[in-house]
Structure 1
Amino acid sequence: MGRDIESRTYTREQRQRYREKVQQCLDVFERMLAAHSFEFDEPLTGMEIELNLVGADYLPKMDNSEVLAAIADPEYQTELGRFNIEFNVPPGRLAGDSLRVLEDTLRASMNEAERRSSAMGTHIIMTGILPTVMAETFQGEWMSENVRYAAINDAVLAARGEDIHIDIEGPTGEALATYVDSVAPESACTSMQLHLQVRPEEFADHWNAAQVLAGPQLALAANSPFLMGSRLWAETRIVLFTQATDTRPIEYANQGVRPRVWFGERWITSIFDLFEENARWFPALLPEIDDENPREVLDAGGVPQLAEMRLHNGTIYRWNRPIYDVSDGMPHLRLENRVLPAGPTVVDTLANAAFYYGTLRTLAHEDRPVWTRMAFATANANFLEGSRQGIDADLFWPGVGELPASELILRHLLPLAHEGLDAWGTDPDIRDRLLGVVEARCKTGLNGAEWQTKAVRAFEAAGCSRAEALRRMVEGYAERMHANVPVHAWEMP
C-alpha cells in the first residue's frame, strides 16, 4: 500500500524543503553504499498480491473495509479502490521446500479469507484486471478511505492540469478511448509484486537482468485482456497503469518528459543510479517532510530511515523498482519486480515466481551478461510486445534473434530457471512441479489472458451479450481459481 501520510495539500515552501531533504538523503545513501553498511546474511524473498472483490453477480463490490474487518488478518490491507485488497506474504527463502510451504500457506490464507468474505456475500478474485470493471464502476464512492490515495489523486491531476486520457487499442481491433477526472482506472490494475533482497554490489546486475526478463514474464503470465467491456492488450494492466497515473499533459509527453510509470531508458551500474534519477527528473507528488536529520543519524553511528528518499521512490512506478528499507534496526536493499498480474491461481502464481527467481539468478551471474548483448530499447520493445500480444508475442533474444515467446521460454529460459533454482537450493521435486506448469503453459499456449478471451468468445457465440459473457466468464474463472488447477489445464465453460 505504501507509507501513510498526514496531509493532502502542500505549500511551495514544503516542496522546496522536501527537494532539499531528498538530496540530503541521497548524499547519505551514497555514503552508506561506499561503506557497505547493509545487512545481508542470505537472500530473502517477499510477495504482495492485489485482489479484487465481487458480489454474487460477479461485478465489483465496494466493501473492502467490511471485508478486511471480517478477515481480521494484518497481512491483508486496503488498496486504492474499494473493490481491492492486498495480501502481503512475509519474507522467506527459496531453499529446500520453502516454495511448497509458501504455496500451502497462500492457499490456506486465501481460502480462509474467501470463507469469511463469502459469509457476507463477497468473493475474492485474483486477476490482473477484473473483467467486469466498467466505466460506471468509478462513479460515486470508489476510492478507499485513506489520505494517501486522495493526496496522490489530487497531485496527479494538479500536475497534469486536465482530465486523464485513456486511449488503448488492442491487437484484435477493439479499442477504448475515454477521459476520466481521477486516477480511478488505476485501481483496476491488480498485480503480484516479487521482492528479492540483494547485496549492494550485485543490485545493478539483478536489476538489468530483471529488465531483460520483463518481456518473457509478461508473455508467459498475461492475465488482463478486458477493460470496460473491450478486449484490449493481453496484459492491459501495463498500458492502463501507465496512462491512468500520467502526470504529463500531451505537450510534456511530446517533449520527452519522462512518465512516472516507467520502464527506464538505460542499463545501470549501481542502485544509486536509480535513486539519483528519481531526484533529478521527477518532482515531488507527496512532499511530506520527516523530522529526521539523516546526516546526524549516520554520523552518530545510527541507521537513517531516509524517509523522503523512500517516499519519493514510492511515487515513481518503475516496473522493476529499487527499495531501501530498515528492518530490526538494520538497512537492506531489495529489488521489487512489479511486472506480473495477479492470478490465475496460487499454483500459477508460484510457478511465475519460480520462473522469475530461477531465471533471474542465472542471468545475473552469467560471465557475459545478456544485457551487454542487447540494446536497452530492445528490452523495452520486448516488454511492450509481451504485454500487448501475451503468449503470441515474438520476442528478441541475443544469439537467436526474434522468435515466439513460448519457444524462447521452452528452449532458452526454462533451462536457466532450472539452473537458478538449483543454485538457490530449491528441492528438485518442487522445482520440477512449478517449472512444469510453465512448460505446459507454453506448450498449450493457454495462459490467463488466452483462457479469458476464448471463454468470452464461447459465451458470445452462444448468444450472450459482451457484458453477460464477461460476467459468466468471471463466474467460471472464480470456480477454477479456487480449485487451484493451473490455468493451462482449465476447460472452457
Structure 2
Amino acid sequence: MRTMSLVRPSRSLEVPRPARCAALITVGQDVEKRTVSGADRRRFREMLHLELEVLRKQVVAGRLAGSEPCAGIEVELHLVDEDMQPAMVNEQVLERLADPRFQTELGAFNIELNGQPHRLADDGLPALHEDLAAALAKAEEAAVAVGARVAPVGILPTVLPEHYEGDWRSDKARYAALDEAIAAARGEDMELRIEGPVSGERLELHLPTIGPESAGTSVQLHQQVAPEEFPRRWNAAQAVAGVQVALAANSPFLFGRHLWAETRIELFTQSTDTRSAELRNQGVRPRVFFGDGWIGNVLDLFEEDVRYFPSLLPVLEQDDALEALDAGRAPELPALRLHTGTIYRWNRPVYDVAGEEAHLRVENRVLPAGPTSVDVVADAAFFHGVVRALAEASDPVEERLLFTDAHRSFLDCARLGLGAQASWPGVGRVPVGRLVLDVLLPLADEGLQHWGVPREIRDRYLEVIAGRARSGRNGAVWQVEAVHALQESGCDRREALAGMLREYLQRRRSDQPVHEWEPLAPRP
C-alpha cells in the first residue's frame, strides 16, 4: 500500500479555481539540511504519535471536509537538449516561466506542473484538458528559450548512468537531504536489477545515489474524499491500479535496455529502497510496495506509516496541533505530513489544509507522464469514473477480489502492459483489453455519469481508453516498435533511442491519442 512522491509536506497551491473546488494540489517545501541527533529522532517520533492522535480526534469529531467532485492533477516532465539528452536547466526554465504552478523535481532535468483543479461535472474534463495543454505549451516555450525541449514521457529513454556523475540534482536542500537519508538508511550503494520479460535484456547497476529515480516521471491524480468514504475509495483505487498501468504504460527503456512496459514502477521501487539485502530477507517492509491488504478504516494507512517506518527526515517544526484543534482551527500536522511524504504508496493517503478546512485525499501515483494531453485526461477520466463506481457498488470489490490477486495483476501489468492478464471478480484472469472493454469501461461510464459528466464528454475521453484496449497499443508499444524500426535501419541502440524520442516529441504536438500514432517504418 505504498506510493511515491519526493518529500513534500503538503501546502495548498493558491490558484484560481471553480467555486467549491478545494485546492487539491500541493507544492514542495524545502527542508533544512542539517545533522540530526538521536534526541531529534525521539522528539520527532513523539510528535508523530501526537499528530496521529490529533488526526484521530478530527475524524471522530467530524472535523474533516467531505468529498469534492474535483479532478486534481500533477504532471512531472523531463527536459532534453537538441540531441535529446537530459538538459540540466530546470532552474533557468522555471525562472522564465515565473509561474507558481511549476516547480523543481529531483533531477535538474525535471520540472513538475501542479495543475489547476477542475470540477468533474459539466465541462470540467475539457477545461482540465485545455489548461493542461496550455500549460505544457507554456513550458515548451520557456524550455526552447534556453535551448531545451519538454519531454512528457514515463522514463527518459536517453538518460544513462554517466548523467549522474555531475551536477544532476536540483539545487534544493530537500533533495540532497532525501538522497543522503536514503543512502544512510540503506548503508550501501543503490542496486538496480531489472530483466525485460519480453526482450530478455537485463540491467544490473550499483550507484551511490537515488539519482536514477529522476529518470522516471509520473502523472498524479487526486480525489478529495470524506473520511467515511476513504476506505472504499482507496480499495477501489488499489483494485484498478494494475489495469491503469497496463493501459498507460510508457516506460519501456532504461539506461539503454528494453525492460518492462512500465519500467518506472520497478525503477522507483528499487531506487528508493532503504533496506539492505539482509533486511529484505527478513521481510521488512519497503518504503515502496503495493500493500498488505484492503483497509477498513480511514486511519489504517496513517497508523501503519507511524508504526512501521522510521523517519527519513525528522525535521521539527513548531506546531501545537492540540492547541489548534481546541481553538477550532485546522491543525497543520507538519510532522505527519512530512513523514507520510517519504513512504511511497502507489495510492497514498494525503492530509492537507485548504484555507481554514482540513481534508483527506487519495493520491493515485501509478501513471507515467505523457504521451499527450488527451491521453492524460483520458487516463484521469477512467480513474475517477471507475473508482467512484466501484466505491459505491452494493457489492464491494474488496469482498470479491483477493488482495494478492490485485497485487499480482499490478506487477504483471507493469511488466507486460497491454499484453498482460489481470484478475477480476466474476471473470477470473483475463487479458487486460478484454477486461477493460467488457467490464471496466461500463463502470467508468457509470461513475462519470454520477460525477455529472455529460454523455458526449464521457464518450470523448473513454473512447481513447477503448482505442488503446482494442488496438493493444499504448506509449510503450509505440516506443518499442519505433526503436526496432530505427535499429533495422542501421542505427545502434543509443541512436535509435534518440531518434525515437525526437519522433515522439514531434507526434505529441498534435495531441492525437498515442494509439492512433503511425508506426515508424524502417528506413532504407
- TM-score range for the pair, normalised by the shorter chain length: over 0.9
Q: Which amino acid aligns with 1:371?
A: E
Q: Would you say 1:315 and 2:312 are equivalent positions? A: no
Alpha-carbon distance in 2 for matches of 1:489, 1:303: 48
**What stretches of structure 1 of length at least 5 have no aligned partner?**
none
Alpha-carbon distance between aligned partners in 1 of 2:419 and 2:117, rounded to the nearest angstrom: 34
User: What's the secondary structure of 1:261's corresponding residue?
Assistant: coil
The match for 2:100 is 74
Are positions 1:128 and 2:164 aligned together? Answer: no
Aligned twin of 1:419: 446
Q: Equivalences for 1:201-220 in 2 at 5 Å?
A: 201-220=228-247
User: Cα deviation per residue 1:385-417 (whole Å; 9 max; x = unaligned)?
Assistant: 110100100111111111100111011100000
Query: Aligned residue for 2:459?
Result: 432
How do 1:39-58 and structure 2 match up within 5 A? 39-40=65-66, 42-58=68-84
* 1:211-268, Cα deviation, whole Å (9 max, x unpaired): 0000100111100000000000000000000000000000000100000012110110
Q: CA deviation at 1:42?
A: 3.3
Determine which of 183, 190, 193 is the counterpart of 1:164: 190
- Is 1:354 the counterpart of 2:402? The answer is no
Identify which of 123, 137, 151 aligns with 2:163: 137
Structure 1 residue 302: deviation in Å? 2.0
Give the TM-score taking structure 1 as reference length.
Answer: 0.99
Give the superposition deviation at 1:460.
0.6
In 2, Cα distance between equivalents of 1:360 and 1:248: 33
Partner letter of residue 167 of structure 1?
A: R
TM-score of the superposition, structure 2-length normalised? Answer: 0.93
User: Deviations for 1:181-226, whole angstroms, at most 9, x for unmatched residues?
Assistant: 0000011110000000000000000000000000100111100000
Mark the runs of 5 or more structure 2 residues left unpaired by the alignment.
Answer: 1-5, 9-28
> 1:23 is matched with which residue?
49
Once the 2 structures are TM-superposed, how far is the Cα of residue 303 of structure 1 from its aligned partner? 1.6
1:231 and 2:234 correspond: no
Answer yes or no: is the 8 Å Cα contact 2:68–2:223 preserved in 1: no
SS at match of 1:318: coil
Secondary structure of the corresponding residue to residue 337 of structure 1: strand
Give secondary structure in 2 for the equivalent of 1:117. helix
Matching residue of 2:12: none
Give 1:427 deviation, angstroms.
Answer: 1.9
Contact 1:8 1:147 in 2 (8 A): no
**Shift in Å, 1:300:** 2.4
Q: Aligned residue for 2:177?
A: 151
What secondary structure is seen at the aligned counterpart in 1 of 2:296? coil
How much does 1:91 deviate? 2.0
Q: Is residue 129–residue 373 contact of structure 2 (8 Å, CA) maintained in 1? A: yes
Alignment of structure 1 residues 345-424 onto 2, 5 Å: 345-424=372-451
Q: Is the 8 A contact 1:200 1:333 kept in 2?
A: yes
Residue aligned with 1:339, SS: strand
Match of 1:468 in 2: 495
- The one-letter amino acid paired with 1:328 is G
Aligned to 2:85: 59
Q: Report if the CA contact (8 A) 1:8-1:148 is conserved.
A: no
**2:136 aligned partner:** 110
In 1, Cα distance between the equivalents of 2:320 and 2:142?
A: 45
Aligned length: 493
- Tell me, yes or no, if the aligned pair for 2:116 and 2:128 is still in contact at 8 Å: no
1:330 pairs with one of 349, 357, 363? 357
Amino acid of the residue matched to residue 329 of structure 1? E
CA distance in 2, matches of 1:112, 1:154: 34
Normalized per residue, which structure has more helix? 1
* Post-superposition offset of 1:280: 0.5
Three-state SS of the structure 2 residue aligned to 1:301 is coil
What is the SS of the residue equivalent to 1:99? helix
Aligned AA for 1:182? T
Partner of 1:443: 470
Percent identical: 52
Q: Is the 8 A contact 1:363 1:369 kept in 2?
A: yes
Query: 2:463 is aligned with what amino acid?
Result: G
Aligned residue runs from structure 1 range 259-298, under 5 A: 259-298=286-325
Distance 1:387 1:264 in 2: 16
- Residue 301 of structure 1, CA deviation: 2.1
Mapped contact 1:77–1:87 kept (Cα < 8 A): yes
In 1, are the aligned partners of 2:116 and 2:131 still within 8 Å (CA)? no
1:41 shift after superposition = 6.6
Q: Distance in 2 between matches of 1:15 and 1:116?
A: 42
Candidates 119, 137, 141, aligned match of 1:93: 119
CA contact (8 A) 1:129 1:226 kept: yes
